[in-house]
Amino acid sequence: MPEQPEPVTNIDPDVPLFIFGDEVTEEQKEKIRNTTYRIIHFYADEYGVTLRKNVTFHAYVDYENFLEGYTEFHGEGATPEFLQWVRDSIEEERRITGRVSWGTFDGDGIFFLGSHIIENTRNLIHLIAHEYFHAYQTTDHERPYWFIEGSARYAEALALEYFGQPLDGPTGYYSKQAEINYVRGSDQSLEAIELNDDFFALDDSHVGYVLGRLGAEYLVDHYGGFEAIVEFYRDYGSNWEDLFEEAFGISINEFYREFGEYQSGGFQSN
Ligand SMILES: [Zn+2]
């Protein structure tokens, strides 16, 4: 792995690739830039993942600076309701983890907040790799939501592996066995979480992420590798069910049936 990865620019070089809060140090900026460049090169070189539109990475440590920058970037798009939702999400995260730490991709920008993300290399890779893959998946919102999240989760695991980070880690976050244990016994189907409203209506949305990742991994293992996932998102003009069958060589209904059997058999592969 090169020490200094080649810099990357947006398709329109006038659109900045990075916007940093005033409080972000030079050292932090360097780390964010290098990590981002490496991830972009990794996805592009290994899988041909490139974006069709500009994206900007916005990094903040300070909560108030973040809210200000976010509001300014989105102009009229930053409605009071949306900003309230952002505040609520950050507060919920703070309640659970005790930290101000948050990241999202919202169509134009990848936003992240918190020194916990920037200082911890693993967290930084995890966030950038996940949200950048979402940027690749834009802007067709009609595709199954479980697959949008599941394939992004799978993609971030590939990036972590590339960086030499262990996938089973102390928390077992990417451990396939830990994920299987998490959803074993749940009769939640992938089909029922195709719509993002249904996905986020789950009592525990983590079940959706985990099942989605297992679904994506099943497709990788049996129907064409990660390349097929990249292929599925490459053309976003037509009917997603047709694109699914073209990319994986199996219809979505047949896949749901097969995955349902795999799930009810306790995720035993053969
Ligand atoms: Zn996501």
What's the CA-to-centroid distance between 193 and ligand 1, angstroms?
14
Q: What is the pLDDT at residue 83? A: 87
Alpha carbon of 71 to ligand 1 centroid (Å): 21
Q: What distance in angstroms lies between residue 149's CA and the mean position of ligand 1's atoms?
A: 5
pLDDT at 171: 59
- Give residue 169 CA to ligand 1 midpoint distance, Å: 20
Tell how far the Cα of 103 is from the centroid of ligand 1, in angstroms: 9
pLDDT at 93: 82
CA-only gyration radius of the chain, Å = 19
How far, in Å, is the centroid of ligand 1 from the Cα of 246? 24
Please give the model's pTM, rounded to 2 decimal places: 0.92
pLDDT of residue 168: 74
Contact 7, 37 (CB under 8 A): yes
Q: What is the mean pLDDT of each run of 10 residues along the chain (270 residues)?
A: 82 95 96 97 97 94 92 87 87 85 86 90 93 85 88 94 80 78 92 93 92 96 97 84 95 97 87
213-234: pLDDT as tens digits: 999 999 999 999 999 999 999 8
C-alpha span between 267 and 181 (Å, rounded):
10
Please enumerate in sequence order all residues whose Cβ is within 8 A of that of 150, keeping only pairs 6 or more positions apart, or say none: 209, 211, 212, 213, 214, 215, 216
Strands, E assignment, the chain: 18-20, 56-60, 102-105, 109-113
Task: Decide the pairing of beta strands 18-20 and 56-60.
Answer: parallel
Q: How far away, in angstroms, is 224 Cα from ligand 1 center?
A: 23
Give the distance (Å) from ligand 1 centre to CA of residue 110: 11
At 155 the pLDDT is 96
Is-contact 194 144, C-beta < 8 A? yes
Distance 127 CA to ligand 1 centre (A): 9
The predicted pLDDT at position 15 comes to 94
Ligand 1 centroid, distance to 256 Cα (angstroms): 21
pLDDT the model gives residue 58: 96
pLDDT of 214 reads 95
CA separation for the pair 46, 265 (Å, rounded): 33
- pLDDT at site 37: 97
160-203 pLDDT, tens digit each: 999 998 887 555 677 888 888 899 988 999 999 999 899 989 99
Per-residue tokens: 19:
């916007």
Number of residues that make up the chain: 270
CA of 209 to the centre of ligand 1 (A): 8
